[in-house]
Amino acid sequence: MPNRDLVLASSSPYRKQLLARLGLSFKTASPDIDETPHPGEAPEPLATRLATEKALALAPTFSNHLIIGSDQVATLPDGTLLSKPGNHNTARQQLKRSSGNRVHFFTGLALVDSRTGTVRTHCERFDVYFRSLSEPEIEGYLHKETPYDCAGSFKMEGLGIALFSRLDGRDPNSLIGLPLIALNKLLREMGINPLLD
């Protein structure tokens, strides 16, 4: 199968930086989808559905491409969803609730062949164990890194690592927003090998 251009269905600079690590040329485009969870939708299917919808939303525009979609859902042990906080107060509340807890991250991944309509998906789970954080630590972190556009209110690739006591999962890149180990597998299945192309 001849290789076709890759498109990353995301405006996230974090995902763009991760995909660039594979050394493949790609375009980026921002899909417009409704990210509202369906009633009773569990985190893993939600993350996978949103990743797939993001990729499929770009298929009419990029009709002979391989389109990568990804989306992340974070939950507290009681099932509460942790969204992108958007502001300081929400981020502070999220970190207070995460303090001393294990937070589950589900990163959905979809690779869509827009020429054939083939869709391959994967969901990567990664658990983060937060230290017991003091109020000054939370405030200090938020002022230093302002992670208001990140699910869970932290940037794992930056100072956010200081919030944790332990990480448990296969691919830490999934915490940043794109599970590269799984993506490499899906790309190979579609005829693209970053080590050979």
Residues known to be catalytic: 71
Q: Which amino acid is at 163?
A: L
Strand duo 66-75 + 81-82: pairing? antiparallel
Distance of CA 144 to the CA centre of its chain: 22
Q: Any residues with CB less than 8 A from the CB of 27 and at least 6 apart, and which?
A: 5, 6, 7, 8, 62
**Main-chain dihedrals φ then ψ at residue 8, nearest 5 degrees:** -95, 115
Q: Which residues pair with 122 in a beta bridge?
A: 109
In whole angstroms, what is the distance from residue 134 CA to residue 95 CA?
10
**Main-chain dihedrals φ then ψ at residue 58, nearest 5 degrees:** -95, -10
**Main-chain dihedrals φ then ψ at residue 108, nearest 5 degrees:** -80, 145
